[in-house]
Amino acid sequence: MSLRGIGVDIASIPRFAALVERYGERFISRWFDATELTEGGSSVPSQLASRFAAKEAVWKALRIDGGASLPWRQIMITSEAPWSRLSVRLGGDLGSTAAALGIGPISVTATIQGDMAVAFALAEQADRQ
């Protein structure tokens, strides 16, 4: 395996709190897959901001042209419990494209500092034989 890409992102927790307050479930369901919220997830603004930053970091690490709209719900950030190690699953067309391109494991980590969530992702590329 070799490194395909690195991604980093930062998200404002107060901004996510305001979006959840204003739009509620409509906002949450637009950006997050139901699996993300049931597998150790939560709609707590700090966790939403953390997972969104992780999605952004993964997207940047993948280095795939997304066309007109980015497939946010196809990048699923899950964990066994709300604050445990994060896992990445790619679904839909994005998952198929990543597999066809030989993109291997994707590692992601996120942390919260003050009112910001920061995430870092590494995507590996299968070495061509």
Task: Quick: pLDDT tens for 72-121.
Answer: 899 999 887 666 789 999 999 999 999 999 998 999 999 999 999 999 99
Whether 129 shows a pLDDT value over 60: the answer reads no
- What are 109's two structure tokens? 């980590």
Give the total number of structural domains in the chain: 1
In terms of C-beta density within 10 A (0-12 exposed, 13-18 middle, 19 or more buried), how is residue 17 classed?
A: middle
In terms of C-beta density within 10 A (0-12 exposed, 13-18 middle, 19 or more buried), how is residue 69 classed?
A: exposed
Question: Are 77 and 55 contacting, i.e. CB atoms less than 8 angstroms apart?
Answer: yes
Domain CATH for 32: 3.90.470.20
